[in-house]
Structure 1
C-alpha cells in the first residue's frame, strides 16, 4: 500500500533547470523508498481509492537537504581547538581527543536531521583510528548512518604526500623541539602508507554496501597539495572505471592558491585535466580562491563546487566567489564542514549565512536569491552525491526524502503577505519549525521526535566519554600541538612571506 502525503504546498527545484517553485494542493505518492507520483491532490487521491492520506494542511513540504561536506560530530572547539587559519588549525587540532566514531557520527546525525538534512557527504580522515584501521573506521560511521536510516555518501580521505606544509613534512623537524621528534616522525610515517593500500578501503566498502540504497561510496582524494600527480591520475582512472564521484578539497586558503600557481602555473584548475579527475563527476570542496579561468574550466567540464561558507569564515580562508560561479552555470552545493557558524551542524543557519553574505553593494548590484540558495541545499548538493534519479527534488522517480515545515511556526508571531514561501524558508526557518522528516520512505522524525535513534542516550554517551578524557594527557598533547603549530606558522611565513 503506497503512502500519500498531502501538505499545504510543496517547494522544490526542477531536477533539470534547478528553478524553484511553490505549488499548492499537491499530493506526493510514495511506494517503498521512492516517490512514484506528484500531482493535483484531488485527482491523485481518485487514482488511489482506499489509501488514507497523511494530511499536513499547515505545512510546506520540501525535499530533504544535502550536507555536501561533513567530517565530524563533536566539533574542534568542543574538543579544545580554537578557530585559526587553516594551516595552523590543522596543527593545533592534533591534540584533540577521540571518542567512539559511531557515537560521534550519531551525535552529528541527530543535529543534521533536526535541521532537515536527509543526505550527508561524509568525508572521513581526521582521527587516529582512520589511519590505524581505515576499514573499521569507515564501517563504524557508515553502519551508524544505516541504523538511523540516514542517506550517506561516504569517502575516506586519502593523501600520499605532505600534510602540514607544502613540502616534505620532515622539514619541520628543524623547528620542533627534539623531545617531540619521535612522535612527529611516527605521525608523518602513518600518513605515508602505500596509495594502493589506502584505495583498498574504497574498493572493499563499495562492494560491501553495494546493495544498500541509502549508502554510496565515493572517492576522497583529500587535497591537491596532499596528492602527487601519480595519485591524482589513479583517482581519475578509478572514477572513470567505477563511475564513482570524486570530492576534492581545493583552493581553500590563500596558501593553497599560491601553491597551485607554483605547481600548475597558468593552468590552475585545468591542471586537473591531465589526471582525468576534471569531469562532471568532480566536486571541489571550498573553491574559495577560484579565479575567472578556474570557473570557466569547471563550467566546461560540468564539475561542481561545494560552498562551505561557515568554515571558510571561521578558518580565515575567505569567501567563494559564489555569484561568479553561479553565473557561469557551475553546479553548487552546500557543506557545513566541521561545525557551522553556530557549532551545531545546522543547515538552515548555513543557508541563511550564504544568502546574507553574497550581496554586492549598490542599487543594481547582484545578490544570490533565496531560490538559488534553496536549490543549492537540495538538488545542487544532490548532484554531487551520485544517487541520481531526481535526488534532491520532489518528482516522480526521486528518492522519498522529505521535510515538513510548520507554516504557523514559520510565521509566528506575525508575517504579512508579500514574502514568498521560499524567501520565508530561507529567512525565517529554524530547527523548531521542522516537524517531520522522511528518508527513503521512512519517517525518521515525527512531531519533532526522532524515531530511529535514542537522542537522549546518544547525548548521555557523548557526555560520559568526554568526561572520561584524560586531562593530563590532553595537556601534554596540547604542548606537542602548540610546538607543531609554531613550526608550521614559521614555515609558511618563511616560504610565502606572510
Structure 2
C-alpha cells in the first residue's frame, strides 16, 4: 500500500464504538484522509510512505473539538474577573464590545484564539461572535476547522442594526462558505433573553431549509430562568420548545438549570447539550447535570466558552474539570469516566455539529485530524492507562504534533501557518487600549 504519511505511536485512542486502546499502532494517511489504522509491525511491512513519523511515548487522539466558544473575546482575557455574569456582561463586556469590536479586533482576537487552540490540540471549534466572516477567513488561513456562527440578536452593533440584518449577513456567509473544506456555518441566536420570538422562528425555519445547526445559550443562570418566568410566564426551555425549536440540529449551551422533565425532553427531541464547566464555575452560573444527561441518552459535548470567562481555551483542562465535577455532583466516582470525557471532547462534539461522518474519531475514511501528545514528561509517567493520563494528568504543553485534513499545522509544538510574534504583539496592543477604557 502507498501512503503519503505514516505515523507510528506508542498508543492510539481512536474513540471508536468500543473505546479501544491500540498499543504500538500506526495511522496511514493519503489525500487528507485516514487510509488505515493498524499495528506498527504490519505497517512497516506493508506500507510504503512518502513521510514516516516516529512518536515513541506519544499518545495519538482525534483532534479535539471545542463545541462552544467566542474566539475573538480572547482579547478580553482577564479584563473583568471575579464578577457575576450579568455584572460582567452589562458593566464590562458589552460596553467594551460596543466601543472596540470591529473587523480588525475580530481578526486579531480570533488569530490569538486559533494559536492557543492549535497548541492545545483543538482542530475544530464552534464559534459565536460578531463579524463571523472575519473569523472564518482567519481560521481558514491557519488551516483550522471551524463552524462559524451566524450571530443573531435583537439589538444593534457594529455588525448589524437588527435581527433581520444579522440574518441577512449570515445567509451571505453561508453562501460564501457553502463548499469550503474547513469552514461550516451554523445559526447562532445568542439566547432566549436577547432574541425575540419572531427572529427565533425565522432562524428555525431557515435552519431547516439549509440543513445547518443552531447554536444557542440556554439556562445558563438561575437569573435567566427567573427573568423568563417574569417576562414570558415560562422557563426559557419551555419557550423554545413551544416555538418548535428543539431537535437534533440544536446545540443548547450551558444548561446549568435543568429539571428532570427537561432532561427527558432533551433526550426525546435529540437536542444536544454543550457543557462549559470551567466558565460556569468561574461565573458561579450553576452546574450542568452531565451524568444525568448521559444516563438519559442526551449527547453531551464540551466547550470552553470564551477566554474572557474561562480564562483559557484549553480542552484538556476542560475534560479533566468535566470529569471531576460530574463525580462530585453525582456523588459517584464512576460518573463520567475518562473515556466519556474524551468522547465529549471529540466524537460527541462532532455529532452535535453534524460532522461525525467526517471527524471526531480516527477511523478509515475520515478526515485525518490527528493530535499527538508526548506522555514522556514526569507528570505523566509511568503510563498504566493512556486515556487516564490524557484526561487527568496531561497538559496542553505536551501537544507536539497536529494534523488537520492530513496537513501538519503544528510541528514540534510550533504552528506552521501562524506568525506567533506578530499575533502576540497585536494582542498586547489591544490589551493596552482595552485596559485604558474599562
Q: TM-score when scaled to structure 2? A: 0.90
Paired residue secondary structure (2:21): strand
Out of 398, 401, 410, the position equivalent to 1:433 is: 398
Counterpart of 1:102 (choices 99, 102, 107) is 107
2:426 maps to 461
Deviations 1:285-329 (CA, angstroms, capped at 9, x unpaired) = 101101111111111111111111111112221111111111111
1:415 matched to 2:377? The reply is no
**8 Å contact kept, 2:74–2:308:** no
Q: Which moved more, 1:208-217 or 1:65-74?
A: 65-74
Q: Is the 8 A contact 2:75 2:431 kept in 1?
A: no
Equivalent runs, 1:57-96 vs 2, <5 Å? 57-75=56-74, 78=77, 80-93=79-92, 94-96=94-96
Determine which of 205, 219, 228 is the counterpart of 1:251.
Answer: 219
| Aligned pair partner of 2:148 in 129, 135, 154 | 154
Provide the residue aligned with 1:142 in structure 2. 136
Measured against aligned partners, the alpha-carbon deviations of 1:74-120 in whole angstroms (never above 9, x if no partner) come to 54764632332212211112342446221111111111111111111
CA distance in 2, matches of 1:253, 1:465: 30
Q: CA deviation at 1:255?
A: 1.4
- Rounded to whole Å, the distance in 2 between the matches of 1:267 and 1:463 is 42
Q: Once the two structures are superposed, what CA deviation does each residue of 1:353-396 show, in whole Å capped at 9, x if it has no partner?
A: 11222214898665321111111011111122233314111011
2:121 aligned partner: 116
8 Å CA contact retained: 1:216, 1:387? no
Q: 2:263 aligns with which of 262, 272, 295?
A: 295
**Distance of 1:2 and 1:72 partners within structure 2:** 33
Match among 264, 280, 283 for residue 312 of structure 1 = 280
**SS state of the match for residue 432, structure 1?**
helix
CA distance in 2, matches of 1:67, 1:446: 21
Alignment correspondent of 1:180? none
Distance 1:369 1:379 in 2: 15
Residues 103 and 194 (structure 1), Cα distance of their counterparts in 2 relative to 1, 3 Å cut? closer
1:281 & 1:444 partners in 2: Cα distance? 30
1:450 aligns with 415
Counterparts of 2:392 and 2:157, CA distance in 1: 48
SS in 1 for 2:128: strand
State how far apart, in whole Å, the 2-side matches of 1:190 and 1:102 are.
14
Aligned to 1:493: none
TM-score, normalised to structure 1's length?
0.80
Q: Is the 8 A contact 1:66 1:118 kept in 2?
A: yes
The number of equivalent residue pairs is 430
State the SS of the aligned residue for 2:20: strand
1:88 and 1:211, CA in 2 relative to 1: closer, same or farther beyond 3 A?
A: same
> Do the aligned partners of 1:239 and 1:277 also contact (CA within 8 Å) in 2?
no
1:379 aligns with 2:373: no
The Cα of 1:407 is off from its aligned counterpart by 2.1
Structure 1 alignment gaps of length 5 or more: 126-136, 162-187, 479-498
Q: 1:463 to 1:307 in 2, by over 3 A?
A: same
- The match for 1:347 is 315
Deviation at 1:462, TM superposition (A): 1.9
Among 333, 356, 360, the residue aligned to 2:301: 333
Structure 2 unmatched runs, 5+: none
SS in 2 for 1:463: helix
Alpha-carbon offset, residue 404 of structure 1: 0.4
Coordinate RMSD, CA, aligned:
2.6
User: How far is 1:46 from its partner?
Assistant: 4.4
Q: Give 1:487's aligned residue.
A: none
Is 1:31 matched with 2:30? yes
Distance 1:262 1:204, change over 3 A: same
* Deviation at residue 47 of structure 1 after TM alignment: 4.3
How far apart in 2 are the matches of 1:62 and 1:393? 8
**CA contact under 8 A between 2:4 and 2:31: conserved in structure 1?**
yes
Partners in 2 of 1:281 and 1:74 — Cα distance?
Answer: 26
Contact residue 400 and residue 439 of structure 1 kept, 8 A: yes
